[in-house]
Structure 1
Amino acid sequence: MKVLTCSELETSRRDLMLVNRSHPLPDSTVPELAAPDPAYPEILMERRASLLLSACIRAAGGEGQIIPVSGWRSHAEQQAIWDDTMKKEGPSFTRSYVAYPGCSEHETGLAIDLALAAPEIDFIRPNFPYDGVCGSFRRLAPRYGFVERYRADKQAVTGIAAEPWHFRYVGVPHALLMEHYGVCLEEYLDLLCRQELTCTLENGRKVYVSRTDDHTAGQNTSDGCVRQAFCDNAGGFILTRWEGIV
């Protein structure tokens, strides 16, 4: 039995880390980064998320039509965007569409703002419609571990206005479960506090997901299953167990 402490998990993968005004980033660790689109080498994401975003865009037939607008941001860059938007647009607009520095998913490397290709693109509110190739991307996104993070009907929960362009990598099966239950990340963590969730993947493998508030999480492969644990940055761990992996 290998026991992982929260501090150990915080320095590993952060797929399910909750980041918002109530749950700021615990540190300024910079993930391993890569560009999802070689045409925009300056726009980066966490490497695994970057590879899967590229694969999803290809599967949707969106190469050259779906373009990245903003990915990983340093704390200084997020602060500059906050200050500039506050100066130009005022407090109400800024608080609705720009996360407070230190509380932005962009600082994790797991978030990406996307746009439908156009001669001019609004950096803060890029156009990413629900039809056409963008609609195809949305339908495929959960299969690649992505969710539309800030939906209009979840504003009271997330504290952020609808952002149809902002996608967050949470991984599979979590994106599939969030889509199935119609929940945002905050609600997903709450749901896992109440019950274990089960998901059957396309290959037939079953996955079990639960949450615990224990200070340690076990990772035991003696039963032939594979377990994975992430700190959720909300005082708990998300435990995922896959069956049928050889």
Structure 2
Amino acid sequence: MKSITRKPIDAPAWTLGRGLPQAGRYASSRLSEDELHDGSLILVNKAHPVATCTLRLEDVTNGMLQAAGREEPRIRLDAECLAQLSALLDACEGGDRIAVVSGYRSKQTQRDIYADKLRERGRAYTESYVALPGASEHQTGLAVDVGLAGRGLDYIAPSFPEDEGPSAAFRRLAPEYGFVQRYQESKTEITGIACEPWHYRYVGRPHAAIMTRENLCLEEYTSYLKQYAFGKAHLLFTDGVRTYEIYYVAALPGGTDVPVPGAGESAGWELSGNNRDGYVVAAVYDKEPIRHVR
């Protein structure tokens, strides 16, 4: 799989539209049924638990502040998520104020945390802020909890004010580095989780920018992309420098041949299952869209 070179997005230049397939030709990438449950765009919630997600974990080091607790003395994250988190902390100049509180958790760790919080805080609190074992994004390594250091950070609900200095800058720049605030107050009825200003999910670029621009949570974005089936109208996102072509391919029993831009057609492409019913391809071109539709 090719990877897309990361470059910060200039938010005022964002444009979103629809276009016909942008590549002159497409090749085929054969994916197994297991790969439906892998990638940066997998939807994880009660209805769509973690399945066969491939873990690519690295320790949180490189001078990042950590607020490790007894529940998670060794904090780890997906390698790409960790690299982009490091870049985001540099960009928002928050490396000396923002601490990493939680990253990857095993299913057993999540089970222990859930049971502990039931005893300590009761059912209402636990069901609002702690995902069920198997239904936690933390089991993918793609979710990170952050908090402002020096505030006696709570492991489950660390302090991360929405409008204060480094945390405000972190929130504003997060989409440029592939992160979204996963649980927002306006989306609680959809996600089933209360507002968590500290919980960020890595979905990659350009998806984080689109979700932010269109005010979509991951449940909504997963459904939204299905209207852009391959070969019809594709979703086009331009950041002022590059054009991203995004389309959906439904999963088939026994494996799926997913069309991807052929050699020499694009600067790169990324592919992810959605842990639900299909795959999403995001290709990037160093040019303006060449085929538009209304």
Cα offset, 1:198, TM superposition: 1.6
| Structure 1 unaligned blocks of 5 or more | none
Distance in 1 (alpha carbons) for counterparts of 2:247 and 2:97: 38
User: Which residue of structure 1 aligns with residue 168 of structure 2?
Assistant: 135
User: Which residue of structure 2 aligns with residue 2 of structure 1?
Assistant: 28
For 1:55, the aligned partner's letter is A
Cα offset, 1:206, TM superposition: 0.3
Describe the SS at the equivalent of 1:115: strand
| Structure 2 unaligned blocks of 5 or more | 1-26, 67-72, 229-233, 288-294
Cα offset, 1:136, TM superposition: 0.5
Describe the SS at the equivalent of 1:163: coil
Deviates more, 1:121-130 or 1:224-233: 224-233
Kindly tell me: are residues 127 and 7 of structure 1, through their superposed partners in 2, closer, same or farther at Cα, counting changes over 3 Å?
Answer: same
> Is residue 82–residue 100 contact of structure 1 (8 Å, CA) maintained in 2?
yes
Alignment of 1:28-107 (within 5 A): 29-35=54-60, 38=63, 39-40=65-66, 42-107=74-139
Cα offset, 1:6, TM superposition: 3.7
Q: TM-score, normalised by structure 2?
A: 0.77
The question of 1:151 aligning with 2:184 is answered yes
Describe the superposition over 1:144-200 as per-residue Cα deviations: whole angstroms up to 9, x where unpaired: 000000000000110100000000000000001001101011111111112432211
Distance in 2 (alpha carbons) for counterparts of 1:32 and 1:178: 25
Distance in 2 (alpha carbons) for counterparts of 1:18 and 1:194: 17
Distance in 2 (alpha carbons) for counterparts of 1:183 and 1:28: 23
> Is residue 84–residue 177 contact of structure 2 (8 Å, CA) maintained in 1?
yes
> Is residue 36–residue 51 contact of structure 1 (8 Å, CA) maintained in 2?
no
User: Which residue of structure 2 aligns with residue 231 of structure 1?
Assistant: 273
Cα offset, 1:7, TM superposition: 3.2
Cα offset, 1:227, TM superposition: 3.5
The question of 1:22 aligning with 2:47 is answered yes
User: Which residue of structure 2 aligns with residue 201 of structure 1?
Assistant: 239
Distance in 2 (alpha carbons) for counterparts of 1:198 and 1:138: 24
Kindly tell me: are residues 181 and 110 of structure 1, through their superposed partners in 2, closer, same or farther at Cα, counting changes over 3 Å?
Answer: same
Please identify which structure carries the higher helix content. 1
Count of paired positions: 243
Distance in 1 (alpha carbons) for counterparts of 2:76 and 2:264: 38
Q: Which has the higher contact order (CA 8 A, sep 6+)?
A: 2
Q: RMSD between aligned alpha carbons?
A: 1.9
User: Which residue of structure 2 aligns with residue 213 of structure 1?
Assistant: 250
For 2:130, the aligned partner's letter is V
Cα offset, 1:238, TM superposition: 0.8
For 1:176, the aligned partner's letter is A
Distance in 1 (alpha carbons) for counterparts of 2:86 and 2:269: 27
Distance in 2 (alpha carbons) for counterparts of 1:214 and 1:124: 35
Distance in 1 (alpha carbons) for counterparts of 2:276 and 2:119: 32
Distance in 1 (alpha carbons) for counterparts of 2:82 and 2:116: 27
Cα offset, 1:55, TM superposition: 1.0
> Is residue 183–residue 195 contact of structure 2 (8 Å, CA) maintained in 1?
yes
Query: Percent sequence identity over matched residues?
Result: 37
Cα offset, 1:142, TM superposition: 0.3
Cα offset, 1:28, TM superposition: 6.3
Distance in 2 (alpha carbons) for counterparts of 1:119 and 1:162: 20
> Is residue 146–residue 160 contact of structure 2 (8 Å, CA) maintained in 1?
yes
> Is residue 60–residue 136 contact of structure 1 (8 Å, CA) maintained in 2?
yes
User: Which residue of structure 2 aligns with residue 108 of structure 1?
Assistant: 140
Distance in 1 (alpha carbons) for counterparts of 2:61 and 2:85: 6
Distance in 2 (alpha carbons) for counterparts of 1:237 and 1:221: 18
Deviates more, 1:123-132 or 1:143-152: 123-132
